[in-house]
Chain A
Amino acid sequence: DAGVTQSPTHLIKTRGQQVTLRCSPKSGHDTVSWYQQALGQGPQFIFQYYEEEERQRGNFPDRFSGHQFPNYSSELNVNALLLGDSALYLCASSLLLNEQYFGPGTRLTVT
C-alpha cells in the first residue's frame, strides 16, 4: 500500500516566480492538508481540501492557493514567490477527521 507521495522532491525557484507542488494521498483517504515547515520549526497549517473544496485555511496570504481533483490528489500553488517562502512543504492525507499521514515533503528554495 503506497503512502502519501509528493513531487517534486526538491525545487529551486527565483523570487517572483510561481510554483506548483503535487500530492497523492494514501489509498482510501479523501482529505488532503498542506503544511509549511521552516527550519527548526513545527509545521504550519496552510489549508485543507475535502470533496474538491477548501474546507479550512490557515493564516497564509492569497498567494497560496490549492486544488483537489476527483481522484483526491491535490496541488499547492504559490504565486509571486518571496525569499521567505523557502521551506519544506508537507502534504498530509486522512480519512475525514482521523489521524493525518504525511508525505516526504518538497524542499522549496527561493533565490
Chain B
Amino acid sequence: EDQVTQSPEALRLQEGESSSLNCSYTVSGLRGLFWYRQDPGKGPEFLFTLYSAGEEKEKERLKATLTKKESFLHITAPKPEDSATYLCAVQAVGSNSGYALNFGKGTSLLVTP
C-alpha cells in the first residue's frame, strides 16, 4: 500500500533561518510527487510536481528535490509569510490507482520575525 510520511510534524524557524522539510514515500510505481502549501481553513495551493529522481524545481525561496525514496522541500531565508502547512502527495502508476493523490499529514511551519 502506498505510504507518505512527512517530517517534522511542526517546525519553528527564525526569519532568515534556512531549513528543509522531508517527505518519504513508498509506492509501487511513482508517476509524480507533488508539493502543496495550505493556509489555515483554505484549500491547498499547488507548488511543484517532480517526476523522476534527480529532478529539482525552484520557486522564490522554495526548492524541491526528489530521490527514489524521498523528497525535500528546502526553504532558504524564510519570511513570516512562508508560515503555512506544507503537504506532500504521491500519484502512483497503474490503472487502479493512477489518479488519486495520496497525501502525507503535512509539516506545519511557523516563521517568526
Contacts and interface: CB of A to CB of B under 8 A. Distances in A.
B49 A103 contact: no
B87 A42 contact: yes
Contacts of B63: none
B28 interface: no
B102 A45 contact: yes
Contacts, number: 61
Given A40-B105, A97-B31, A33 B99 contact: yes
Interface residues of A, number: 26
B45 A42 contact: no
Interface string B13-42: 000000000000000000110101000011
Contact of A45 (B41, B87, B100): B100
Question: What range describes how many residues of B lie at the interface?
Answer: 20 to 34
Nearest to A96: B99
Given A97-B31, A105-B43, A55 B105 contact: no
A56 B101 CA distance: 11
Nearest to A102: B43
Given A42-B104, A42-B105, A42-B106, A48 B45 contact: no
Contact of A43 (B31, B32, B44, B45): B44
B43 A104 contact: yes
Nearest to B95: A56
A99 B46 contact: yes
Interface string A91-107: 01000010111111101
Interface of A: 4, 31, 33, 35, 40-45, 48, 55-56, 58, 88, 90, 92, 97, 99-105, 107
Q: Sort A-B residue pairs by CB-CB distance and give the 10 closest, nearest first.
A: A42-B103, A102-B43, A45-B100, A56-B99, A102-B44, A105-B43, A48-B99, A104-B43, A42-B105, A43-B103
